[in-house]
Amino acid sequence: MMTAPTATARYEGHLRTQATHVASGTSIQTDAPVDNHGRGEAFSPTDLVGTALGTCILTTMAIVAERHTIDLVGSRVEVKKIMSQEPPRRIAQFDVDLTLPATLSEADRALLERVAHTCPVALSLNPEIHQEVRFIYQ
């Protein structure tokens, strides 16, 4: 069974690509990071991995929150990517800070914290990539 691609990308030169989400036509650019010969003017491919992790955690939590009528509107995620210092160049760690409403009950907090660690991106990453997830209630 043949399926359509999820995304396509075209190399634009100067270590930049233009990627397109096939179903929606939405496009983003990537750029090599400054510390790896690039200009750092757009997401790097490894930045997108971290962004995928953070948005996947928020989305997965939101799916469960809607099921339990928990309001997460305005919740935020901040992702810090840490690259390995020794070759080969790779992602070593992600620090993920989730800011959620202080009004959440202890039971809702426990539920959402459990769910946060089960998003598909988190479960798909190489286990050698350390994922430090912190929850901030304000």
**Mean pLDDT in residue range 59-69:** 98
Residue 60 token pair:
């997965």
Residue 58 CB neighbour total at 10 angstroms: 20
| Angle at 68 (CA atoms; ends 122, 120), nearest 5 degrees | 15
Is residue 2 pLDDT above 90, yes or no? no
Cα 98 from Cα 58, distance rounded (Å): 8
Helix (H, G, I), strand (E, B) or coil at 62: helix
Residue 77 token pair:
């995620």
Share of the chain above pLDDT 90, in %: 95
How does pLDDT run across 73-121, given as a tens digit for each residue?
A: 999 999 999 999 999 999 999 999 999 999 999 999 999 999 999 999 9
The predicted structure's pLDDT at residue 130 = 98
The pLDDT mean for the chain works out to 96
Residue 61 token pair:
């939590």
pTM above 0.95, yes or no: no
How does pLDDT run across 118-133, given as a tens digit for each residue?
A: 999 999 999 999 999 9
Q: Are 17 and 9 in contact (CB under 8 A)?
A: yes
